[in-house]
Chains A and B, each alone.
Chain A
């Protein structure tokens, strides 16, 4: 919970990791990639405020104590949502798997929400695995990497026929939150796998599932915006947007936020720190203080009120994950019923 100027904010961090990228976990012959990956993350890390930089050694592998303190003591986070990133072809035990996350999630059940993954290219076996994992962990969300390489395939699409039984299975099991990484083109050669357009079809065919587009389709924010504005069950996952731009590129951050508020709206935007890429503390503090910079170029963007910030920082995610919000941290009825503001043009 964060309090400022008499306003209290319930904070749900929509995207955190508990990773191990230490050299002990690098697969022999793949060190180049394993090292390159974490160095790439470290570059993003340094777009935050300097006082939050970690040395590389700590960044490669951090302790449970560090994570608990950063999120829940210093970072104002009430609940944190784990999203796994497997990368088992470079890291022996994986970079950040459901099983690794479960160690903390089971130890601190009131703090964490555990999520899992699937990959439709795993076929029937993958479907059974998803069901088994769900029975074991009971999660409500999955993280999908459509651009991940797998057995000679260079990515997949939510439109693929193979993906349909998985989405049906999610619906059946009550896995209602489908987080899809559509973000900076980091690894794959496939040119289309990060394109957010496949979400459009899936969101239409599966109106009971929520699709959270992680990193808002960067660098294809416009494709994401034009699609999300038409689909009531598509959400903007703000990790990277705040972390990479709010401190280091404030004017561009304001423009990107303005676009998102215009097309997607404050009821469908979900903040996330992407810990340990960035610390949640400065993001929460800076975002609560945030407003557009001076200048008429920002005039026609929708304004963001305190109520809007409360939604983005926690109440929207709480709704998706059925998180009980203490009554003094909720919005008055009228605000919670507010509909997403319809864009004047579409």
Chain B
């Protein structure tokens, strides 16, 4: 018997590519049913017109995550309340692929290229979060330039950074330099401050967008908005 916790665990590996957060944390899952080796998940998004390419990726990734759980043989993922629900649900659950689900409507670059663009952004943002934390702990930028991954104290920020770094196929061993660009090239000491200044803007952009989407989801489905209003 497969537990709901196991399934939710698998689904927590599915991220909104643009917002870089798990769909489980984003409250995108409105229903989960498990019966005799079959799992059904319903997904909901912040607006009727959310970018269909990202929606497709999440539905497809969710289905794959469900099928990766031992004991689940059939998986059905249903996207509700989206203008392209029909095409996306049909496309994913019949394994058509995005371009075949929207035969006349997509243009290159491919969905995988798009996913890579956002993986790179996410890598940069996570690196900045980690470095920000290190700088707050009295490291200086020159230290960061000389540090190896093995020199960094263990933390959940480090874990997240390494996960994104691995996702780009970059070296994550202890003796690899901490600060590299998305192509794996080491950031020279003289460029660290500038590199992190750019990286911060990338992080703010992703976070700002995530906050906007959370707000829209909460108003759309009358959810309690989890962010505490400070003003």
Which A residues are within 8 Å of any B CB, using their own CB?
32-33, 36-37, 39-40, 43-44, 46-47, 152, 154, 184-187, 189-192, 218-222, 225-226, 244-245, 247-252, 255-256, 258-259, 263, 286, 293, 345
**A191, B202: Cα distance in complex, Å:** 19
B207 near A43 with CB under 8 A, answer no
Give 5 A-B pairs besides A218-B212, A255-B207 with Cβ atoms closer than 8 angstroms: A39-B48, A47-B216, A219-B208, A221-B204, A249-B227
A33 lies within 8 A of B204 (CB): no
Is B201 in contact with A252, judged by CB distance below 8 angstroms?
A: no
B contacts with A, residue count (CB < 8 A) = 43
Identify B205's interface contact among A190, A221, A286, CB under 8 A.
A221
Which residues of chain B from 41 to 87 have any CB-CB distance to chain A below 8 Å in the complex?
46-54, 83
In the complex, which of the residues A189, A256, A286 has the most CB atoms of chain B within 10 Å of its own CB atom?
A189
Instruction: State in angstroms the CA–CA spacing of A307 and B42 once bound together.
Output: 50
A60 vs chain B, min Cβ distance (A): 15
Quick check: A222 and B47 within 8 Å, CB to CB?
Answer: no
A221 near B104: Cβ-Cβ < 8 Å: no
Interchain residue pairs with CB less than 8 A apart (17)? A43-B46, A43-B220, A44-B216, A152-B104, A186-B47, A190-B106, A191-B53, A219-B206, A222-B121, A244-B212, A247-B231, A248-B225, A252-B208, A255-B208, A256-B208, A258-B204, A345-B197
Cβ-closest 3 pairs across A and B: A219-B209, A46-B219, A221-B205
Using CB atoms, name the residue of chain B closest to A218: B209
A263 contacts which chain B residues (CB < 8 A)? Answer: 201
| Cβ contact within 8 Å between A47 and B219 | yes
B201 near A189 with CB under 8 A, answer no
Known contacts A191-B109, A221-B204, A252-B211, A37 near B49 by CB under 8 Å: yes
B146 to chain A, nearest CB (A): 21
Known: A226-B201, A248-B215. A186 touches B49 (CB 8 A): yes
- Quick check: is B3 within 8 A (CB to CB) of the other chain? no
Chain A's closest residue to B104 (CB) is A152
B46 → A minimal CB distance (Å): 7
The residue of chain B having its C-beta at the shortest distance from the C-beta of A223 within the complex is B205
CA distance A256 to B225 in the complex (A): 20
Q: Which of B53, B193, B204, B231 contacts A259 (CB 8 A)?
A: B204
The complex places the Cα of A274 from the Cα of B212 at a distance, in Å, of 16
Residue B186 at the chain A interface, CB threshold 8 Å: no
**Interchain CB contact under 8 A, A250 and B230:** yes
Task: Tell which of B49, B104, B200, B211 touches A249, judged by Cβ atoms closer than 8 Å.
Answer: B211
Residues on A with C-beta less than 8 A from B209 are 218-219, 221
**Chain A contacts of B109 at CB under 8 A?**
191-192
Q: Which residues of A contact B105 (CB under 8 A)?
A: 154, 189
Is there an interface contact between B208 and A221, defined as CB atoms closer than 8 Å? yes
Give Cα distance in the complex from A244 to B104, angstroms: 33
Residue of A nearest to B106 (CB): A189
| Any A CB within 8 A of the CB of B185 | no
**Which residue of chain A has the shortest Cβ distance to B111 in the bound complex?**
A191
Q: Do B107 and A244 touch (CB < 8 A)?
A: no
CB <8 Å contact, B229 and A250 = yes
- Closest A residue by C-beta to B196: A345
- Cα A258 to Cα B219 in complex, Å, equals 26
Bound complex: CA of A220 vs CA of B47, how far in Å? Answer: 18
Residues of chain A within 8 A of B4, CB atoms compared: none
Q: Which residues of B contact A184 (CB under 8 A)?
A: 212
B229 — which chain A residues lie within 8 A by C-beta? 248, 250
Residue of B102, B198, B201 ringed by the most chain A CB atoms within 10 A: B201
CB–CB A185/B106 < 8 A = no
Instruction: Let me know if B47 and A40 touch, CB within 8 A.
Output: yes
Neighbouring A residues of B219 by C-beta, 8 Å: 43, 46-47
Q: Measured between alpha carbons, how far is A218 from B51 in the docked complex, in Å?
A: 13
Question: Are A219 and B49 in touch, CB under 8 angstroms?
Answer: no
